[in-house]
Amino acid sequence: MFHSSYIEISKSALHNNINFIKQQIGPQVQLSSVIKGNAYGHGIEVFGPLAQDCGITHFAVFSADEALRLQESLPSPATIMIMGFLDNPELEWAIQHDIEFFVFEPERLLEAAKAAGKAGKKAKVHIELETGMNRTGFDPAELHQLKEMLHEHRQYVQLQGLCTHYAGAESSENHHRILAQQKNFLALRKSFQESSLTPSQIHTACSAAMMGYTDTHMDMVRVGIMQYGFWPSPEMYTDYMSRNDMQQDPLKLLINWKSSIMSLKHVPQGDYIGYGASYQAPRDMKIAVIPVGYAWGYSRSLSNQGQVLIQGLKAGVVGIVNMNVMMVDVTDIPGVQKGNEVVLLGKQGDQSISVASFSELSSQLNYELLTRLPLNIPRFVVP
Ligand SMILES: *Cc1c(COP(=O)(O)O)cnc(C)c1O
């Protein structure tokens, strides 16, 4: 093994999660599998074909380079939708390859019409509307112009979708903002209908909106984090579990990020461990050195906080996470040996580590840690 860690991706877990998501949306609503951020760190080239094998036919990416990587790795054709970055030179390429894309500015609509003319093929666009997130989306003030442009360029621009994105549906703190966004969106949708503009697919929901606001499902949901087995926030997880009186998480983590113990060491009580004075041994301790650090995406914010699994037991990170190594406390793990498997994320025995389980830390850390897993950690599919 040339690498100090590797990632296993479980096919049965993905099957399980897709089934769970499909139960939430029913047979009439399409599922778009969101694979931006290198498939939330799982690896586009590994995850794409696996998802297709599990019945996924629609994918959402952030940018043109992700669309290209996905397209090249899929064994059969699928719909690919770019939600974010696509530069003018790539527009024609996207249109030629039937890649759909979000349009949130008048200039992009014009450029798309131009590129479609050159390609001799219609651009399939999803018009993103500003409803209150204030990120991307046509402002109400631009609406009149937008509708005129859609009519004017209908020979080359196909209105494939009408969409928006919610600003934090995973937290009840944002409840009123989400309801206001929904209301705004419905009004805008109506005004499109009244202008004889009929998009094929109306879509607004991410994972959290799908779970928390069933009205948001419409024709299609764009689901990222939950396919990978993570809940959008601990709050959503506990809500769901108590509402349904369940004991066991219906989602399963796909990812198992594994390394092994590189070295063991005894540290006497009172000594500091690692750089600086962030951790002082409260007793005589046994420490395992793990050859993974922030250079491989193990966040520095997990210093003195993170946990790993060794011999089916939890071991806490002690001291600062270094660039290439970190230290964990194995004092209470009997028979621990150099070379023992270490699980950084995922399951070992009947224990499991997901970043959100460190409850004091932001729930956003799941997204962040996953997407920072470097491309060069080897990834393997397991049954
Ligand atoms: C990331 C993203 C999603 C998916 O969000 P999850 O919380 O991972 O389900 C959906 N829509 C848009 C526009 C996004 O950027």
Map out the domains of the chain as residue ranges. 11-243, 255-353
- Measured in degrees and rounded to the nearest 5, phi and psi for residue 65 equal -65, -35
pLDDT of residue 234: 85
Q: Cα torsion for 362, 218, 61, 172, to the nearest 10°? A: -10
pLDDT of residue 1: 65
Ligand 1 pocket, residue 34 CB under 6 Å: yes
What is 255-353's CATH number, 2.40.37.10, 3.30.565.60, 3.40.718.10, 3.40.250.10?
A: 2.40.37.10
Annotated binding site for substrate: 135, 323
Residue 195 burial (CB count, 10 A): 15
CA of 209 to the centre of ligand 1 (A): 10
Per-state percent for the chain, helix, strand, coil, to nearest 5: 35, 25, 40
Q: How far is the CA of 4 from the centre of ligand 1 (A)?
A: 31
Q: How far is CA 108 from CA 87, 112, 114, 192, 199, in A?
A: 9, 6, 10, 19, 18
- Residue entry with tokens 């995406």: 297
Whether residue 36 lies in the annotated active site: yes
User: What is the token pair recorded at 280?
Assistant: 């002082």
Question: For ligand 1, is residue 236 a contact (CB within 6 Å)?
Answer: no
Query: Looking at ligand 1, which atom is closest to the CA of residue 37?
Result: 1
SS3 assignment, position 166: coil
List the residue whose alpha carbon is closest to atom 1 of ligand 1.
224
Contact (CB, 8 A) for 312 and 349: yes
pLDDT at 323: 96
The confidence score (pLDDT) of residue 333 equals 97
The identity of residue 336, as a single letter, is V
Q: Which CATH architecture has domain 11-243?
A: Alpha-Beta Barrel (3.20)
- The answer to whether the CB of 206 is under 6 A from ligand 1 is yes
Could you give the angle at which helices 64-73 and 88-96 cross, rounded to 10 degrees?
Answer: 30
**Whole-angstrom Cα distance, residue 221 to residue 45?**
22
Instruction: Please report the pLDDT score of residue 365 as a whole number.
Output: 72
DSSP annotation of 354 reads -
Please say if 272 is a catalytic residue. no
Query: Residue 166: which of 213, 110, 104 has the closest Cα?
Result: 213
Nearest residue (CA) to ligand 1, atom 3:
206
Under 8 Å CB-to-CB from 101, ≥6 apart: which residues?
81, 82, 83, 86, 91, 94, 112, 123, 124, 125, 126
pTM of the model: 0.93
Q: Which of 21, 24, 25, 34 to mutate to test the pocket of ligand 1 (most atoms within 8 A of CB)?
A: 34
Q: Which of 88, 62, 64, 65 is nearest to 165 (CA)?
A: 62
**Residues 381, 108: Cα–Cα separation, whole Å:** 39
- How remote is the CA of residue 31 from the centroid of ligand 1, in Å? 12
* pLDDT score of 356: 57
Residues 332, 315: Cα–Cα separation, whole Å: 9
Mean pLDDT by 10 residues, the chain (383 residues): 92 98 98 97 97 98 98 97 95 97 97 97 98 96 96 97 96 95 98 96 98 97 96 90 94 95 98 96 98 93 93 96 97 97 94 67 72 93 97
SS3 81: strand
